[in-house]
Structure 1
Amino acid sequence: MSVFTCETDRSECWSGFAEGAPCVLGIDEAGRGPVLGAMVYGCAVSPVSAADDLKALGVADSKALTEEKRDQIFEKMNNDEKTKKTVAYALRSLSPQLISAAMLQRAKCSLNQLSHDAAIALIRDALDCEINVVQIYVDTVGPKATYQSKLEAIFPGIAITVTEKADALFPVVSAASIAAKVTRDTQLREWQFAERAPKVEGVKFGSGYPSDPTTKAFLAKTVDGVFGYPGLIRFSWKTVDTILDKKGVQMKWEADEDDDSSSGKKNSLNRWTTAKGEAPKEQRHSYFTQRKLQNVTTF
C-alpha cells in the first residue's frame, strides 16, 4: 500500500458484528498533535445490551491508562472470545507522508478536514459491513456544533453526539481510543526508515510531541539542509517549518525566474537595487559554491 493512500483495517468480528443487534459506535484518534508518525483514527462498536460488559473490560481514555493496561485490553479485543462479542473495531492510519502532502499541496487540506474524512469513512464502513448502528459518539474536531451538523446531514436517522472529552465520557469511544493508541505506538516501535542516512540510524525520536526533549534532539540531529527530514516527519508542522527556515538551504527555482521574465515582472527588491537595463546578478548559496556544484544541462 502506498504511504499516500489510506485503507481501513478491521478486527476479525467487524463485518456483521452483533448479528443485527442495535449497537453504539465511538470514534477517537491517536497522534493528532505529534510532529512525527501517523495519525490513527479508531472506531469501536458495541451492542447496546453489552454496556456493562464493556465497562467491565476496563476501557477508559487511553491517555489515562498505562501502556501495559492498554496493551492488555487491546489483546483481549483481538483474542478473547467474550470480549470479541462485546466490542469490535476498525482503524484508518494516515501516514506522515499523506498528512504532509495533503496539507502542503496547492489546494490545501486541513488537519481537521483529514480528521473528518477519516471519521466519516469509518462510520460508512460500519454501515456497509451491516452493523446496526443506532448511536454515534465522536470526540470533537473543530467547532462541535458544526461537526455534529455535518455528520447528521451525512447519516440521517442515527443519533449523533459530538463533544469534547468523549473518550472519557463514553466507554465505546474509550475502546476506539485504545485501539488507535496501541496501533500508533506499535507503528512507531516498528518504524523502518526508508532513508539510509547515517544521521537517522539508531537515533531515538521520543513521543513525537514538539515539547518532548528527545523529539527536539531528534529533529535537531537529523535535519538535512537539502532534503529536510525522513518520511517519518510531518513537513506541514510549524515546528519543522521553523527549523528548515533556519537550517535548510534556501532554494530559488529557475522556472520561477523564467516565469517572471516572460510576464515582465521583476523582483521587488531588485527593482530598486539594479540599474536600469542591467540584469540582476543572482548569488548562489554557499552550500553550492563551497562544494563547487554546477548546473548541468547536457550529459
Structure 2
Amino acid sequence: MDLSDFEADNSVSCRLASEIPDICKSEDCCLGIDEAGRGPVLGPMVYGICFCPVSRKEALKGLKVADSKTLTEPERENLFQKLDEAKDFVGWALQILSPNTISTSMLQRTKYNLNALSHDAAIGLVQYALDSGVQLKEVFVDTVGPAEKYEQKLSQRFPGLEVTVRPKADSLFPIVSAASICAKVARDHAVKGWNFTEDLGDLDSDYGSGYPNDPKTKAWLLKYLDPVFGFPQFVRFSWSTAQTLIDGKCAQVHWDDDDEDGEKAAAKQNNTSMLSFFSPTAGSTAPNPTYQSHRFFTERRLLSLDSL
C-alpha cells in the first residue's frame, strides 16, 4: 500500500483511493465502512470503505475476507493484496486522520468529539464514492455510538441509499470486513513507517500496542515527553493518558486570560451583577467598594466615573 501522500505530511489528514472499476459505475453497488485505530493514544485513526457490485457479493465472499481483528498481520496483508488485485469489480478508499487532526479537533474551543469526527469521516467517504460515479444502492456500517441514531443520521444524509448500521458489522457483512482490512493495513503501514519530524535521537520503536493501558506504551510516552514541548505529533495529546502525563511532568504555563476567567467565575459565584461594578454605592460617589478593579485599570490609574 502506497502511503507516500500521507507520509509527505503526517500532521494533516489524507485521502487515498483505488481506481473506480467501470462496473461500479454501471451496476448497483454495496459499500462497507469500518475504521482502525480508534482507541490507541499513538498514531492515526483510519476510516475505510470498500465497494463492489451487488451482483458480485459472492465473488467478494470467495476472497475469504474476515474481520481484520481476527486475522494476523500477514493474513491481512495477503487479503488486502487480493482485494487490490480484484480491481475489475472491487474499489476502496481511505481517510487517514492524523493524531494532530484528532487532538486539535477534540481540544478546539467548540467541542468536536471523536464520534462526530468519525461520523464526518464516514460521511465524507460515502460522498466521495457517489461523486466518483459509484452507483451505490446499499451501505453497511459498523456502528459508532447508538446504532439506530447513526443509521437515521446516514439515511437522512443519503436518502436514496439503503443504510444498515450494526454493531460488529465487520463480522456480519463481507463488504464491511473488506473495509476493515483496508483500514487496518493502512494504519499498520502508517505506524510502522512514521516519519518523526521531531529530533528524538536514537528512537525506540518498541511502543507496544499503542493503547493507553499497555505498559510499553506508557513507558514510551514517558520517555519521549519533553517538559516544555510535550509529545511528538505521533501522540494524540487529547487522550487523558497523555494529558495526565503533561499535567504532572511538564512545566506549568500561566496565561493572563486565566486571571480574567477566575474573576468572572468569582463574580458568577457571588451572583454579582456586572452593572454593580460601574454603579456607586448608596451615599457614595466612589465605585462599589466590593469591586476590585482589574489590574488593567489599576496599572494605568484609570477610575470609573458616574458623571462628566
TM score, norm. by length of structure 2: 0.79
Q: Match of 1:18, as an amino acid? A: C
Provide the rounded CA distance (Å) in 2 between the counterparts of 1:244 and 1:260. 22
Q: 1:170 aligns with which of 168, 173, 176?
A: 173
Contact 2:155 2:163 in 1 (8 A): yes
Residue 195 of structure 2: aligned partner: 192
Aligned to 1:217: 219
The one-letter code sitting in structure 1 at the alignment partner of 2:70 is A
Is 1:23 aligned to 2:29, yes or no? yes
After superposition, the C-alpha distances for 1:25-55 in whole angstroms (9 at most, x for unaligned) are 0000000000011000000001111111111
Q: Specify the code of the residue in structure 1 equivalent to 2:18.
A: S
Q: 1:264 to 1:114 in 2, by over 3 A?
A: closer
Give the Cα separation in 1 of the matches to 2:145 and 2:210.
Answer: 22
Q: Equivalent residue for 1:251?
A: 253
CA contact (8 A) 2:23 2:89 kept: no
The letter of the residue matching 1:182 is V
Instruction: Give the CA deviation at 1:264.
Output: 12
Of the three residues 80, 99, 104, the one matched with 2:102 is: 99
Does the Cα contact within 8 Å between 1:30 and 1:39 map onto a contact in 2? yes
What SS is found at the alignment partner of 1:131? coil
Residue equivalent to 2:64: 58
- Amino acid across the alignment from 1:93: I
1:260–1:7: structure 2 CA closer, same or farther, 3 Å change rule? closer
2:134 to 125, 131, 135: 131
| Deviation of 1:86 (Å) | 3.5
Residue in structure 2 matched with residue 291 of structure 1 by the alignment: none
Q: Specify the alignment match of 1:116 in structure 2.
A: 119
Distance in 1 of aligned mates of 2:108 and 2:184: 28
| Structure with the greater alpha carbon radius of gyration | 2
* TM-align CA RMSD: 2.5
Contact 2:21/2:91 (8 A) holds in 1: no
Choose from 7, 11, 16 the match for 1:9: 16
The 3-state SS of whatever aligns with 1:73 is helix
User: SS where residue 41 of structure 1 aligns?
Assistant: strand
In the alignment, which residue of structure 2 is the partner of 1:284? Answer: none
Alpha-carbon distance between aligned partners in 1 of 2:261 and 2:48, rounded to the nearest angstrom = 48
Matched, 1:180 2:183: yes
CA distance in 2, matches of 1:68, 1:263: 58
Contact kept in structure 2, 1:27 and 1:177, CA below 8 Å: yes
C-alpha separation between the residues in 2 aligned to 1:7 and 1:139?
A: 21
1:68 matched to 2:74: yes
Q: Which secondary structure state, in structure 1, belongs to the residue aligned with residue 181 of structure 2?
A: helix
| TM-score when normalising by structure 1 | 0.82
Conserved 8 A contact 2:138-2:163: yes
Contact 1:3-1:98 at 8 Å conserved across structures: no
Offset at 1:211?
2.2
2: CA distance, partners of 1:3 / 1:86: 31
Measured in 2, the distance between the counterparts of 1:64 and 1:264 equals: 51
- Deviations along 1:153-201, one digit per CA (max 9) or x if unpaired, are 1100211001100000000000000000000000011001110033x72
User: Alpha carbons of 1:260 and 1:113: their partners in 2 closer, same or farther (altered >3 Å)?
Assistant: closer
Displacement after TM superposition at 1:214 (Å): 1.9
Q: 1:191 to 1:265 in 2, by over 3 A?
A: same
Would the aligned equivalents of 2:99 and 2:234 in 1 still touch at CA under 8 Å? yes
Partner Cα separation in structure 2 for residue 18 and residue 118 of structure 1: 22
Structure 2 residue 157 is matched with structure 1 residue 154: yes
Q: Distance in 1 between matches of 2:125 and 2:256?
A: 44
What does the per-residue CA deviation read over 1:233-258, in whole Å, with 9 as the maximum and x for residues that have no partner? Answer: 0011011111112212222124544x
- 1:74-106, Cα deviation, whole Å (9 max, x unpaired): 11222x2xx222321000000000000000011
Please give the secondary structure, in 2, of the residue aligned with 1:227: coil
Which sections of structure 1, spanning at least 5 residues, go unmatched?
269-276, 280-299
Identity of aligned residues (%): 48
Decide whether aligned partners of structure 1 residues 128 and 246 sit closer, same or farther in structure 2, where only a CA change above 3 A counts: same
